[in-house]
Every structure is written in structure tokens, then in C-alpha cells.
Amino acid sequence: MRIGLLLGGCGMYDGTDVHEAVLTLLALEAAGEKPVLLAPAIRQNRIVDHVSGDEVAGEARDVLKESARLARGRIRSLEDARPGELEALIIPGGYGPVVNFSVGFASLEEKRGLVPEVERFIRHFLDERKPIGLISLGEVPVRTILGQELEIAAPPSDPRSLSLDRERRLVHTPGFAAYTRLEDVQVGIVAMVAEVLRLVADRGRRATAQAGSEREGSRP
């Protein structure tokens, strides 16, 4: 299976959460999958000093170049990506997917939306009903497209518990938005990845069955 992993920079406060990204890669590798790492070649909307937590002014960074730190250089720009070749998408959390993928995030005068190329890419998976795995704040871009408010739910007692939207094939695990222990976050991500892969396999079986039915129906 070809599973896309959409990154929004490097670092919890202004990019993709490093732990959530690495744990996702580990879970996919353990399942025998080879993820395709992707990021938009756009300017970061903000840069944060991860020691103090303060925003840094007067510095420019590129989301694709920062995401390449997590990918060890093996990453594609969304501009060069072909979503039709991917069977599912996973978006780890961190504030990067919230801030860097957004238009009008910090403006009261501008309607909030997504960077067009990011929205087009994610919409492919929604329109084709391909599974999308979401970790922590990685759900925000999808909720923005769907016009849904972000609901802060109480942390589930079992970190393996997932939020499922079966109609849209969305699978969410709260990650560091709910847990502080790395082990709990990992358990949730492993469960999310397993469910995404199960949905991919189920979608493939349905497509095969439908194709067979259409062939039967076309016979004289």
C-alpha cells in the first residue's frame, strides 16, 4: 500500500510534532508499509523558539525544507505529488498543520481557510472516500474543509480508543492533545494506523467485487 504522510514543518509549536511523525513512520514500517512523505513548498506562517515558546520575528522558513528534517531528505513537494497513486493519507499533529496550512489564521478580518494546494490535495481523499488517519491537531485542516468546529473531547481512558467517521473514513487518535506519556501516544497511533490499513483493504475488496459484478453484467 502507498500511504501518504503529510507534514507541516518540524517541531511541535510551528511544525509537525516530531514524536507523532516518527511513531507513525514506525507503525507503518512495522506493518510492512512504505509511506510517501509530503509537504507543501510554502512559507511558514510563524516561527517559534522551542526553548522559550516565544514567537521569533524577522526570520523566514519553508515548510517543505523544514519537513525534510523529519524525512531525512526523502520527501516530495505537494506540487509534484500524485494523490491518485496513494491509497490513504495520514496527518500528524503539532501546530504546523493548523497554522502553516491555513489562510487567515491570525487575522480577524480575513475568512479562515486552507492554502489552496493543501486543500486540493486533502479534498482528493475526501472526495474519493480514501481513508484519512489524523493525529491530535492534524485533524484541523480536514475539519476546516468540512466546515466543522473542532470539539475538545475528554481524553479516552484507553489510549487505543479511536474516533471514527465511517462515512468519510476518518480515523482520529488524540496523540499529545490528550496524553503526556510517549507510550500512550504510540499505542493510539498504532491502533490508528491499523484501522487505516484495514479500511484501505476493505475499500480494495469492495472495488474488486464491484468490478467483477460489472463484468458479469456486461456478458451477453
Residues 3-61 pLDDT 10s:
999 999 999 999 999 999 999 999 999 999 989 999 999 999 888 878 787 788 878 89
pLDDT of residue 58: 78
3-218 is classed in which CATH architecture?
3-Layer(aba) Sandwich (3.40)
Domain ranges of the chain: 3-218
* Banded model confidence at residue 116, pLDDT cuts 50, 70, 90: very high
12/19 Cα distance (integer angstroms): 9
SS3 108: coil
User: Nearest 5°: phi and psi at 198?
Assistant: -65, -40
Whether residue 109 is predicted with pLDDT greater than 80 in this model: the reply is: no
C-alpha cell at 57: 520575528
Residue-averaged pLDDT of the chain: 90
pLDDT in tens, 68-100: 999 987 999 999 999 999 999 999 999 999 999
pLDDT of 216 reads 63
CA 38/CA 208 separation, integer angstroms: 28
**pLDDT at res. 107:** 54
What is d(CA 108, CA 32) in angstroms, rounded to the nearest whole number?
A: 45
What would you report as the CA-atom Rg of the chain, rounded to the nearest whole angstrom?
A: 18
Contact status, residue 19 vs residue 135, Cβ threshold 8 Å: no
In angstroms, the CA 182 to CA 219 distance is 56
In the predicted structure, residue 106 carries a pLDDT above the cut 70: no
